[in-house]
Each structure stands twice: as C-alpha cells, then as structure tokens.
C-alpha cells in the first residue's frame, strides 16, 4: 500500500471526518466532499488535521479519479455519484470496512445489528465486559465511529460495534469475531426497493466474512430471519436465541438464571436484548457472577425506555427512539399498569392496527403529538377512551399531567420519525424530559 493512493470520503459527518483522519494517518492522499453544508464540529476536525474538503456539492471529475471511495451511510447507492463510481469499477466502501483494516492485532470485534434494540444491546454488552475488567470500547452507529475509536483512544482488547444495514451495505472483508442479528422488522425499506427480503439480506452481510471459529447469534425467527440465514449460509458457528428462556425479569442461559429485578431494563424486549448481551459476554470469557453484578448496575441509554426521575407518584418514560411500530409495540407491551401514551410525528407508512390489542384496557389516553395525526385518530378512536392532539413536547407533558393518575405510566413512544416538529429523536426526547422535570420533578 503506497502513500500516493487517493481516497475520497463522501460526507463530512462523524464517520466521514473520522475516516478521513484515519486515512491521512495511514499516509493516503485524502479529500472530503459533502453535498450539504457538513457539520461544524467535524469540518473543524478536518481543518485542524489539514485535510482538503468541499461543501455544497461534489467535484465529480476529482471524485471519479479516486482509487477508493468511502461513503457516509446516509448516502444511498442510487445517488448519481455512487452509480457513476460503481459503473467504472471504483471500490465504494463504508467507514466500518476501512477502519477494520487498522484494528489492533489480536483484538476481538463484536458486531451487533437488527431493526430494534441495537443500541441497548451494544451498550449492555460493553458494560458487561467493562465491569469484568475487559479493555473495551463501544461505538459504530452510536456515538463514536469505529475509525474514531482507533484514532483517539488506546488500543482495546474488544470493540463492540452497533452496525446499521447502511453500514453493512458497504463492507467487503469486515469480519466480526462475534456477530449478533437481534431481529428483522420492516424499517428503511425505501433503501431496499421496499422488499423485506433485501433488507434482511443486508443485515446478514454481517456474517459474510466470518470463519469457522467465529460466532453468530441470531434470533430464532424462521420466516424472515431464518430464511435470510439460509440464503447467507454463514461459515461461523451459528446459535439461535429464542424468547423461551426469558420473562420480563429473568433470563436463563445454559442452566444459569440471571435476575433482572435489580436493574433498570424494562420489558420482554429488553430481556431479550440482555440475553444476547449475556451470551456474547459468556463467549468472551466473563463469568456468571460478574455478569449478574453488571446487569444490576446497567443504566439504559437516553431515549430508550428511559425513566425520568419525578416525585409526583407517576412513572414518566422517554422512549423517543421508538420511531417504528415494532419498537413501540415492545414499549406498550412493557407497560404493566394504566398508561397515557404520547405518539405521533412523521408517519413512515406505519400499520398501527397491530398495536390495538396492546392498548385496549391499558392505555386510557392517547396524546397525538404531530402535525398530521390523521392515521392515529382513525385507528385508535374507539379503542382508546380519550384522545387529544398537540404540537409540542411541552403541551404533551401538560396534557399528560392532567390525565395521568398516581401510579399511572406516561409513555412517550412516538412510533414515528420526529422531523415534523423536532430536529431528531434526541431533540424530541430532550424536550420531553426537560418539560417533565420542570413540571413534576
């Protein structure tokens, strides 16, 4: 590999800026091109590193002359510049693929993907390992990119990576020692020609380069995920993980029972996430006693069934990350008492009918928080006794405060994207949490 090889990075966000800095550190000729305005923090990193870049458009001739291109996960394969690059045979890869070439010799890589639960499982896996004294960092699709973990931190023994299907679309030789596919449900299908099979295939790419001594943990679901596993025909040691060994408060692995009562994980879906994390930790040599102690001390990430501390006798839950029906299904299923449900936002073609059995007799009030709540109103009128509409997190919190009794749960689980009223799901969750704490803490 020579220092004259030219690498172009498309996208000046977290993954792009980090990949660019890593490429420069490895002696490549680097140029970053972002069709938008970029993100100030990451553009500043490029400037500090002395990396050339452009914003507001692509210099097509320069990009097409690259030896290799690293693209942001947010850029679809149908983008004209990507189509042109692939037509002429230029390799187009993801930052995950590029960074994996420079992982420390002898380290272990854990890759976790799925439609829902990726972040919780990734953070919990990292917590179980770190609690046991393993040198480990978590990143990928959450927080720091893999390239940043390699650049800005000391070498680790284990890297735990959350991986999206978009990141996996751009891998070639990336090989996790342990891979986990938590579930497959309809999401982001616009990137996969609205075919669930193609989306599932993208998730199973995580195992395409695994070897016989690697491990692949997959949810025991025969229809979509099982069929995808058969098509992928992985070489790694395959283990299916089913819901038969869990309740909301306990999980069983190889005859050993783990108690979830002392921790903050709520609902059967999080018990299943914990089961995956425990299986991964055991495979990496952590003992059962250390795992139990770590489960007791784990705090879920913000916006994922996050309990907001209050003193009003009600349980306020920020699940703003639930941007699809499946995620909200799990959240509603976890509610074990009378509930006020806050939902709504930018609809993604959702089928809300599957939620009806969960709300009947449990959700006494639905607060629709979106610019257009038509579909929610159509589905849940008659199924939920009280339905209100509002257009801000502040108003939703006030409405919920008036409707929720002591002992009730107030659940923000929007089931929708956030871009009609908020910057993103983080902004939505932050505004909800701030309003709750201001009014009821």
The pLDDT value recorded for residue 262 is 87
Q: Are 23 and 30 in contact (CB under 8 A)?
A: yes
pTM for this entry? 0.84
Report angle CA 102, 108, 110 to the nearest 5 degrees: 100
Is CATH 3.40.50.720 what the domain over 6-93 is classified as, yes or no? yes
Q: What is the pLDDT, as a whole number, of residue 1?
A: 43
Helix (H, G, I), strand (E, B) or coil at 53: strand
Q: What's residue 2's pLDDT?
A: 46
Answer yes or no: same fold for 98-297 and 306-440: no
The domain limits of the chain are: 6-93, 98-297, 306-440
pLDDT at site 337: 92
The pLDDT of residue 39: 86
Which CATH architecture best describes the domain 306-440? Alpha-Beta Complex (3.90)
Write out the two tokens for 227: 């069929």
**Regions of the chain with pLDDT less than 50:** 1-3
Q: Which residues of 15-53 are buried (b: 16+ CB within 10 A; e: fewer)?
A: bbbbbbbbbbeeebbbbbbbbeebbeebbebbeeeebeb
CATH class of 98-297: alpha beta
Helices H / strands E in the chain, number of each: 17, 19
Q: Describe the strand order of the beta sheet including 178-181 as a list of residue ranges.
A: 136-140, 158-162, 108-113, 178-181, 215-219, 237-241
Cα angle vertex 360, ends 426, 382, to 5°?
95
Task: Tell me what pLDDT residue 366 has.
Answer: 98
Tokens found for residue 243: 């819901």
């Amino acid at each position: 590999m020579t220092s004259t090889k030219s690498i172009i990075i498309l996208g000046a966000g977290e993954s792009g800026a980090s990949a660019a800095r890593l490429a420069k550190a490895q002696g490549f000729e680097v140029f970053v091109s972002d069709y938008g305005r970029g993100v100030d923090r990451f553009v500043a990193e490029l400037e500090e590193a002395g990396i050339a870049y452009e914003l507001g458009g692509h210099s097509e001739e320069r990009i097409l002359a690259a030896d290799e291109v690293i693209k942001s996960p947010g850029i679809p394969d149908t983008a004209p510049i990507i189509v042109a690059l692939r037509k002429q045979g230029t390799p187009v890869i993801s930052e995950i693929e590029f960074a994996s070439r420079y992982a420390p010799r002898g380290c272990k890589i854990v890759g976790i993907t799925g439609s829902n639960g990726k972040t919780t499982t990734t953070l919990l896996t990292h917590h179980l390992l770190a609690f046991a004294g393993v040198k480990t960092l978590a990143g990928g699709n959450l927080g720091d990119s893999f390239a940043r973990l390699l650049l800005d931190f000391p070498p680790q023994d284990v890297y735990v990576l959350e991986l999206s299907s978009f990141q996996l679309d751009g891998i070639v030789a990336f090989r996790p020692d342990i891979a986990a596919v938590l579930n497959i449900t309809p999401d982001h299908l616009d990137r996969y020609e609205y075919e669930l099979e193609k989306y599932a295939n993208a998730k199973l790419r995580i195992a395409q380069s695994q070897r016989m001594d690697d491990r692949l943990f997959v949810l025991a679901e025969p229809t979509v995920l099982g069929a995808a596993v058969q098509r992928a025909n992985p070489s790694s040691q395959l283990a299916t993980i089913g819901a038969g060994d869990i309740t909301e408060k306990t999980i069983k692995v190889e005859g050993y029972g783990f108690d979830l009562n002392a921790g903050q994980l709520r609902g059967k879906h999080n018990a299943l996430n914990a089961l995956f994390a425990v299986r991964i930790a055991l495979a990496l040599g952590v003992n059962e006693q250390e795992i139990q102690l770590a489960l007791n001390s784990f705090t879920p990430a913000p916006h994922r069934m996050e309990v907001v501390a209050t003193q009003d006798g009600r349980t306020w839950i920020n699940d703003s990350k639930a941007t699809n029906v499946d995620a909200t299904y799990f959240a509603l299923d976890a509610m074990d008492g009378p509930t006020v449900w806050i939902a709504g936002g930018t609809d993604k073609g959702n089928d809300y009918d599957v939620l009806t059995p969960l709300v009947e007799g449990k959700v006494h009030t639905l607060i629709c928080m979106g610019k257009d709540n038509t579909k929610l109103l159509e589905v849940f009128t008659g199924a939920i006794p009280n339905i209100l509409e509002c257009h801000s997190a502040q108003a939703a919190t006030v409405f919920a405060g008036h409707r929720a009794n002591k002992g009730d749960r107030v659940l923000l689980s929007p089931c929708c994207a956030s871009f009609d009223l908020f910057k993103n799901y983080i902004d939505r969750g932050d505004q909800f949490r701030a309003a709750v704490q201001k009014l009821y803490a």
